[in-house]
Amino acid sequence: MNQLLLKAVDKDKMLGRIISKYDGSKAHFRPHQIERSLALVLKDLNPSQKDLIYQHIYQELANTAGELSSQQISQTIISVLEEAGFHQAAQNYYRFGLDKRQKRQKQENVQVKLDELLAGNKRIINENANKDSRVFNTGRDLTAGVSAKAIGLAMMPKAVANAHLKGDIHYHDLDYQPYSPMTNCCLIDFKEMLANGFHIGNAEVESPKSVNTAAAQIAQIVANVASSQYGGCSADRIDEVLAPYAKLNFEKHLATAQEWIAEADRQEAYAYQKTEKDIYDAMQSLEYEINTLYSSNGQTPFTTLGFGLGQDWFSREIQKAILKIRIQGLGREKRTAIFPKLVFTLKDGTNLKPTDPNYDIKQLALECASKRMYPDVLMYDKIVDITGSFKAPMGCRSFLQAWQDEAGRDVSQGRMNLGVVTLNLPRIALEAHGDQAIFWQILAERIEIARQALVYRVERTKEAKPENAPILYQHGAFGQRLASDDQVDELFKNKRATISLGYIGLYEVATSFYGPEWENNTEAKDFTLNILKALKEQTDHWGQQYGYHFSLYATPSESLTDRFCQLDLAKFGEVADITDKGYYTNSFHYDVRKNPSPFEKLTFEAPYPQYSSGGFIHYCEYPNLRHNPKALEAVWDFAYDKVGYLGTNTPIDHCYQCGFDGEFDPTAHGFKCPECGNNDPESCDVVKRTCGYLGNPQIRPMVEGRQKEINARVKHMRTTTNFDNEGDANG
């Protein structure tokens, strides 16, 4: 606001005033918001006339005693316009407010959303790249989700619902929660369930007597858990969990050999050979079962297998089988499996160096990643440093924090997340108009709304009864077995469960204040880190206040990268390098349009997860690595003591018409073979990293913003030669 507007108004006094909004939330008075809302209705006036109108409005508001309300401000604006003789402008401003209210009501209207769904609105049907909207059960889930969202918005605090609809925050998975008091993602306690048996449907399932049965039971558990929650589920250290059951196979085969074979060495050789085949068959069956399952919400269960630390023969064979089966591919055409997501752990002394006992399995993991993109890798020591203890992520990137039970034992298995609410950080930067003081002021207001949303999520989830999800609460998936009259909060409270505050678009925030090439600007980077420090301080404080583990989460933003950007494009217009791209950048990631080396990118991003310990992942973009896994190993080794979790993005597309292997060309709506132009999903296999997990966009398309973000990605290297040299120098 320029000095003319302040002639009769105390600026500091005005900026310090608090507004009470119609939804009950509070905000500081900001003159530029009034000017932006009046810009269209006063477009025919010259600047001096506009200034005079603004001055009169601010003078009237300054003379109003007590707390201002949104309604008072609107009435004052209309009165000033009428008194000045701008009757048409007053009417237009009234209609402007009415249009906003009607638009908000339309967003909440079930019938409108159902009509959009039936009309094939791509932002609805492609919201989740793991859902095939063409099939009946997914279509039914999407239809139910429209109703559940409307009901959920009516259930939650009005300020939270309004902030979600406007795009100030995003209340994740609104199609499931709060309509149902469901949990988000978890680390299933497979060890306990397999050891002690469990109940599903009409079957009481006993502890398995072989690795084959154990793997089949894991698939049954995954299907049931995925239908009882809405997020991903993980099997942590699955090689070590299944090893005792593989040993049962060995003992059975050894007993048979001792009956028929005289020589002791041949007896053991026979038993090992048969057990190796059993392990391979068991893990292959698990791979196929997970990829052929549909959960009740119409998607392939988002399953993650964490492995790599077991050193006994059985654990090693399980690790090798997982990797060999993924390299082999699915079906006659050997397509890349999307699930389960594979996460291989690197640990110094176990598999990191050539002298480590499992170094050979690391080489197999490198081959697998170069051909199938998975496994992603966890750096054992860094995960402990960032999260307090070692564990695999829940789903794609959500991490539990260290927690001990009453006996002082570290516990990760059987714990869970209660949901995510994400802040639209780029919007706050755009609203601040280059003033960092205002940025921090708005951020504080949005954090308060997010707190209300997260606390509401916790309270709603606590309303579940054990019988609502027996597999979770009564039969071991959540680590303890509750009675039907127990409170589910027994498994959540005392920081056993996490609840996550997410964020998106740090790149765009810094761009708003420092320009699009800010990554090498120390002041700009410190600004982004200070934002995360402030958010982390808040989540830590809430954890102490409420007794749940509030964590800061670098949101994967699968569809949110599109939604927030589209809402802000409508509100602010095309802003260079922010809204004009058609997407917002995930979490803390380096601008995907730039091409630093992998080493530069990882060094840049390394500090951020220390504050985002509730969820994070790094990735690097490479050219075809199938014949150069040593280059990938150089990056893994370089990253070991710098980042905790690293994904590999490399071209693995395949055309079954012409035989092309490599990277398909991006188009506005998908991808096509660069050799023959084929884009038929039945005759090509196109795999891209959606965010924390892989997707097949030809079969299950992504929202437009995510497609644009993928198309904008460039390789994080300048030439293969430079990559190799830098890897040798830094690795």
Six token digits for residue 387: 């999260």
Q: Is 203 helix (H, G, I), strand (E, B) or coil?
A: strand
Name the amino acid, one letter, at 664.
Answer: F
Q: Is 692 an annotated catalytic residue?
A: yes
Query: How many of the other CB atoms lie within 10 Å of CB of 101?
Result: 10
Q: Is 558 an annotated catalytic residue?
A: yes
Name the amino acid, one letter, at 338.
Answer: I
Q: Is 379 an annotated catalytic residue?
A: no
Which of 126, 212, 370, 398 is flagged as catalytic? Answer: 398
b/e per residue, 294-321, with b = 16+ CB within 10 A? Answer: bbebbbbbbbbbbbbbbbeebbbbbbbb
449 to 5, 423, 565: CA distances (angstroms): 31, 10, 20
**Who contacts 314 (Cβ-Cβ below 8 Å, separation ≥6)?**
242, 243, 244, 246, 247, 250, 275, 279
Which of 692, 695, 705, 727 is flagged as catalytic? Answer: 692
Which of 130, 133, 224, 417 is flagged as catalytic? Answer: 417
- Quick one: which H or E segment has residue 345? strand 341-346
Which of 93, 553, 584, 608 is flagged as catalytic? Answer: 553
Q: Residue 158, exposed/middle/buried by CB under 10 A (0-12, 13-18, 19+)? A: middle
Q: Which residue has the tokens 């002690």?
A: 196
Q: Residue 157, exposed/middle/buried by CB under 10 A (0-12, 13-18, 19+)? A: middle
Q: Is 185 an annotated catalytic residue?
A: yes
Q: Is 396 an annotated catalytic residue?
A: yes
Which of 126, 130, 184, 597 is flagged as catalytic? Answer: 184
Which of 379, 396, 673, 702 is flagged as catalytic? Answer: 396
Specify which residues 186 forms β-bridges with: 233, 416
Q: Is 186 an annotated catalytic residue?
A: no
Q: Is 628 an annotated catalytic residue?
A: no
Q: Is 404 helix (H, G, I), strand (E, B) or coil?
A: strand
Q: Is 620 an annotated catalytic residue?
A: no
Q: Name the residue among 696, 707, 702, 701 with its Cα closest to residue 335.
A: 696
The answer to whether residues 426 and 505 touch, using CB atoms and an 8 Å cutoff, is yes
Which of 276, 317, 431, 558 is flagged as catalytic? Answer: 558
DSSP assignment of 460-486? HHTT--GGGSHHHHTSSTTSS---TTS
Helices 136-155/87-108 angle, 10° precision: 130
Query: How many of the other CB atoms lie within 10 Å of CB of 239?
Result: 29
231 to 253, 396, 521: CA distances (angstroms): 40, 10, 37
Q: Name the residue among 627, 724, 718, 711 with its Cα closest to residue 663.
A: 711
Which of 368, 394, 565, 717 is flagged as catalytic? Answer: 394
Q: Report the chain's terminal Cα–Cα distance, integer Å.
A: 53
Q: Is 515 an annotated catalytic residue?
A: no
The answer to whether residues 312 and 273 touch, using CB atoms and an 8 Å cutoff, is no
Six token digits for residue 609: 């997860």
Q: Is 410 helix (H, G, I), strand (E, B) or coil?
A: strand
Say which DSSP state 681 is in.
G
Name the amino acid, one letter, at 656.
Answer: Y
Tell me whether strands 233-235 and 186-187 are parallel, antiparallel or unpaired.
Answer: parallel
Is the CA virtual torsion 120, 125, 126, 129 positive or negative?
negative
Active site residues: 184-185, 394, 396, 398, 417, 553, 558, 692
